[in-house]
């Protein structure tokens, strides 16, 4: 079957209860898993793809002349094409395999950033970024004597686009923005952000970690320059992520790490580097992980991102309505464009206590600052409880969450 055929969605009615059965950890334990924003669970097809890679198709890639190595290489490169189609990239060589979103952003900061950002230049981010989309830019700015600018959000957690625009100027070299905030669920207008940034000559890096499992992403349509994502958030294994970069930009960039696979020739006097994307893929990659990642993208494509998005939108509305009935519950993040994340605090109860009691009721949520400390500071809270949704969550999961929160309320009366 060709990659294109594999990506045809099976769109005849989306049933999350049936989808749940594809996930052994959910099927076998009855766990109500509301922490997919941290890392999503894995369907059987992903687990099988990893096992099959190691039991049938495994050898190092891009090296061996023997048939098994050629097959392993072909399988690995086929996932690059699957990824290209999945995010709408123009060419497969625009897909760089990395470990995760964090590494993808660090790669851009350390290569494009070091090459193009100088003293007095500016990097523009937003107040709602994950630490992975703050610290690499801070490190770059410190090294180069550049300035990190931060566009504010309002008290719903929506980006103030007019303020963002005012911060753009000829010194802005890079704009780095989350597609969807992990702490608030805010969906940022990344196409408009990209248009504004380009009008000022800046390149745009989108942190897509939270968007990719929920939302149809089309990088060509967004016209962004870089897009970062993690496989483990889109039902694939940990250890595999993607940096998308426009070919012309990737071609202009120096390597990130040196070693095997990223070179053309090596002499003690000087080495020359491979073409993209191999230039950025030093060393042996996560071959089994990439097989699992490919299976995860196929799985999501078969279910159909439009169906997934519709289901999650309905579930978010359902949960938001029910949670409004819980006394003392304050939603943190109420932007008009929101997806898959419900952050909240419960008056008089520490978020960690809420999390522990929910755990006791068989419900997994994340509590803490969610690696977004500036967001917590904005809302004047040390931490929140975060219930995050995915394609396998049902209304029954939300009902159980609300019941358990009523129990917390009773205990802390």
Q: Which is nearer to ligand C6P, 173 or 370 (CB)?
A: 370
Beta bridge partners of 124: 149, 175
d(CA 227, CA 135): 17
Residues of this chain that bind ligand C6P (CB under 6 A): 37-38, 100-102, 130, 132-133, 178, 182, 207, 209-210, 230, 366, 370-371
Q: Which is nearer to ligand C6P, 75 or 226 (CB)?
A: 226
Residue number, nearest CB to ligand C6P: 182
d(CA 137, CA 271): 29
Instruction: Determine whether 45 is an active site residue.
Output: no
Q: Which is nearer to ligand C6P, 75 or 393 (CB)?
A: 393
Burial 293-303 (b: 16+ CB within 10 A, else e): bbbbbbbbbeb
Burial 230-264 (b: 16+ CB within 10 A, else e): bbbbbbbbbbbbbbbbbeebbeebebbeeeebbbe
Q: How far is the CB of 221 from ligand C6P (least distance, A)?
A: 21
- Chain-centroid distance of CA 315 in Å reads 20
d(CA 204, CA 227): 8
Q: How far is the CB of 100 from ligand C6P (least distance, A)?
A: 3
Q: Which is nearer to ligand C6P, 72 or 222 (CB)?
A: 222
d(CA 190, CA 394): 29
Q: How far is the CB of 13 from ligand C6P (least distance, A)?
A: 30
Q: How far is the CB of 328 from ligand C6P (least distance, A)?
A: 24
Q: Which is nearer to ligand C6P, 89 or 178 (CB)?
A: 178
Q: Do 387 and 365 touch, CB atoms closer than 8 A?
A: yes
Q: Annotated catalytic residue: which of 45, 53, 169, 371?
A: 371
**In this structure, what token pair is assigned to residue 348?**
């008089």
**In this structure, what token pair is assigned to residue 96?**
């760089």
Q: How far is the CB of 266 from ligand C6P (least distance, A)?
A: 30
The residues assigned a catalytic role are: 371
């Amino acid at each position: 079957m060709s990659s294109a055929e594999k990506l045809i969605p099976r769109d005849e009615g989306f049933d999350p209860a049936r989808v749940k059965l594809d996930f052994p950890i959910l099927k076998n334990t009855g766990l109500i898993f509301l922490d997919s924003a941290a890392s999503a669970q894995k369907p059987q097809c992903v687990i099988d793809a990893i096992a099959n890679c190691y039991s049938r198709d495994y050898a190092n890639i891009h090296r061996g002349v023997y048939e098994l190595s050629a097959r392993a290489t072909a399988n690995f490169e086929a996932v690059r094409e699957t990824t290209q189609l999945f995010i709408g990239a123009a060419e497969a060589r625009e897909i760089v395999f990395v470990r995760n979103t964090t590494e993808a952003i660090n790669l851009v900061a350390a290569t494009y950033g070091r090459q193009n950002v100088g003293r007095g230049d500016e990097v523009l981010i937003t107040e709602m970024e994950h630490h992975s989309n703050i610290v690499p830019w801070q490190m770059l700015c410190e090294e180069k004597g550049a300035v990190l600018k931060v566009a504010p959000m309002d008290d719903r957690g929506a980006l103030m686009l007019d303020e963002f625009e005012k911060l753009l100027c000829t010194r802005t070299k890079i704009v780095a923005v989350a597609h969807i905030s992990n702490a608030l669920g805010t969906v940022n207008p990344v196409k408009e952000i990209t248009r504004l940034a380009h009008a000022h000559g800046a390149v745009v890096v989108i942190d897509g970690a939270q968007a990719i499992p929920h939302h149809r992403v089309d990088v060509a349509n967004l016209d962004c320059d870089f897009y970062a994502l993690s496989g483990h958030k889109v039902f694939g294994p940990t250890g595999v992520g993607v940096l998308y970069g426009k070919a012309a930009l990737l071609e202009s960039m120096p390597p990130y790490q040196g070693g095997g696979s990223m070179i053309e020739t090596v002499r003690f006097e000087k080495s020359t580097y491979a073409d993209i994307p191999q230039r950025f893929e030093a060393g042996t990659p996560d071959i089994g992980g990439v097989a699992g990642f490919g299976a995860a993208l196929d799985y999501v494509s078969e279910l159909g991102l439009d169906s997934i998005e519709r289901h999650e939108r309905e579930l978010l509305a359902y949960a938001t309505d029910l949670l409004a009935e819980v006394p003392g519950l304050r939603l943190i993040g109420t932007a008009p464009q929101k997806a898959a994340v419900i952050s909240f605090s419960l008056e008089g109860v520490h978020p960690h206590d809420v999390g522990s009691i929910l755990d006791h009721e068989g419900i997994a949520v994340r509590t803490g600052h969610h690696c977004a400390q500036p967001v917590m500071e904005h809302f004047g809270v040390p931490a929140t409880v975060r219930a995050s949704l995915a394609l396998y969550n049902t209304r029954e999961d939300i009902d159980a969450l609300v019941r358990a929160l009523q129990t917390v309320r009773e205990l802390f009366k």
